[in-house]
A and B are shown apart, each in its own frame.
Chain A
Amino acid sequence: NAGVTQTPKFRILKIGQSMTLQCTQDMNHNYMYWYRQDPGMGLKLIYYSVGAGITDKGEVPNGYNVSRSTTEDFPLRLELAAPSQTSVYFCASSYSKNTGASTDTQYFGPGTRLTVL
């Protein structure tokens, strides 16, 4: 079981370039998330998905787009990269039983360190 995998591990972009951060989970989790962690800060939610074809914005969605065509994959797209997007990006997944009072544990990938120059 690989869990949550993310590629690439590191990337340097020039201002205005675009890229896609890949995230795959093999735990058949229905919920997936993208977070960013800036230096000395906690993680902030960018986007999340509750199932294939369904996505919604988190706390800091500007400058990003996501799609969820399969249960396993949840790519994060950066269009027109800016220095403010320099951060470590974490993908996570969880399984929700849809019982309302959820206590789902989120499982995180190892992260992608992105620098925009």
Chain B
Amino acid sequence: DQQVKQNSPSLSVQEGRISILNCDYTNSMFDYFLWYKKYPAEGPTFLISISSIKDKNEDGRFTVFLNKSAKHLSLHIVPSQPGDSAVYFCAASFLLGYSGAGSYQLTFGKGTKLSVIP
């Protein structure tokens, strides 16, 4: 069963417009959510995150919104630029709890390929 779902495999947006990438999760124990961006032949790179105690986090052109009651989060990119074209992964985490130490196993969605058209 897929605990983190990105139902749109791809999205095309005109340069300068808003890109909205969506993510749904089923495990209510998840308490931290992240977005990673991946270019071809590279590893994922961290983009932005949000804790379950917040409903919005903003970093420059990137904003993540969290709706806990709907178990839904979204990533907004405004304005979209051609360099934003990549695969975006939504990830969720919960405490591993190994010997009381804090770290997170990340559960990833399948990704959404964003294409920003000049």
Contact = CB atoms under 8 A, between A and B. Distances in A.
B110 interface: yes
B4 interface: yes
Contact of A42 (B4, B46, B96, B100): B4
Given A4-B43, A40-B110, A110-B42, A102 B95 contact: yes
A96 B106 contact: no
Chain A interface mostly? loop
Given A103-B51, A108-B43, A96 B103 contact: yes
Residue with the greatest number of chain A CB neighbours at <10 A, chosen from B4, B43, B104, B105: B43
A98 interface: yes
A56 B46 CA distance: 24
Interface string B22-39: 000000000010101000
Interface in B1-52: 4, 9, 32, 34, 36, 41-46, 49, 51
Interface in B93-115: 95-96, 98-111
Interface residues of B, number: 31
Interface in B78-101: 89, 91, 95-96, 98-101
Contacts of A100: 95, 100, 102
Interface size class of A (residues with CB under 8 A): 20 to 34
A98 B43 contact: no
Nearest to B4: A42
A41 interface: yes
A58 B19 CA distance: 33
A27 B34 CA distance: 21
Nearest to A106: B106
A56 B100 CA distance: 15
Given A43-B89, A90-B43, A104 B51 contact: no
Nearest to A45: B105
26 contacts: A40-B110, A42-B4, A42-B91, A42-B107, A42-B110, A42-B111, A43-B106, A43-B108, A48-B105, A50-B99, A56-B98, A59-B105, A94-B103, A98-B101, A100-B95, A101-B102, A102-B95, A103-B32, A103-B49, A103-B51, A104-B103, A106-B46, A108-B43, A108-B44, A108-B45, A111-B41
